[in-house]
Amino acid sequence: MKKYKIKLLSLFFTLHLLLVFFSMMMPYSDKLSNIWDSKYFTPIRVYAVYTGTHIQFDFFAPSINSSLKVSYLVEYFNGETELIEELSEKSRESQIRYENIMSNFFEIEEDESLRKAMTASWAAKVFSKRPDAKKVKVKIELFEIPQMKWSDYYESSFERKVTAGIP
């Protein structure tokens, strides 16, 4: 009788873990989603809701965004170029604010004029720190989480209209 209970509990435990694994993999496969939505899985879906295995464990890290990296290619009037990887700020608080503003770039994806205005303000910051700069190219790269690599995301160039006494 005791062996029967152990076998039954082992079977139940194995099925439960399979259900957890199955529900974790659902977002990555359309076939699994179709199977899950079929009428034959109704009792299993009810069990999953009662036990919490249907939540796909998103609560551990909900919507992790990819990281952005902004670099500035500065072209000077004398023909030299300089690549600026990051704009260093005087205080940690202003650096955090700058990074927060950069992270909002995702939220304006559909508004090209707002993206252009935002990158223009970053280029203006570079122009203010480099008065002899002729052109600034703002390049934004995206660190893609599943692929674990940097890829080009957005690029915009700005040219100084007023040379302020520079030939």
Using DSSP bridges, classify how beta strands 67-76 and 133-144 pair: parallel, antiparallel or unpaired.
Answer: antiparallel
Sheet strands (E) in 77-165: 81-84, 133-144, 149-159
CB 126 within 8 A of CB 136: yes
Closest residue by Cα to residue 125 from 87, 73, 68, 166: 87
Percent of the chain with pLDDT over 90: 18
Q: What is the pLDDT of residue 26?
A: 64
Q: What is the pLDDT of residue 31?
A: 67
Residue 81 token pair = 């170029």
The pair phi, psi for residue 55, each rounded to 5°, is: -80, -5
Sheet strands (E) in the chain: 67-76, 81-84, 133-144, 149-159
Least confident of 83-87, 116-120, 161-165: 161-165
pTM reported for the whole predicted model: 0.57
State how far the Cα of 157 lies from the Cα of 155, in Å rounded to an integer: 7
Over residues 102-154, the pLDDT tens digits come to 777 777 777 888 889 889 988 998 998 899 999 999 999 888 776 778 888 88
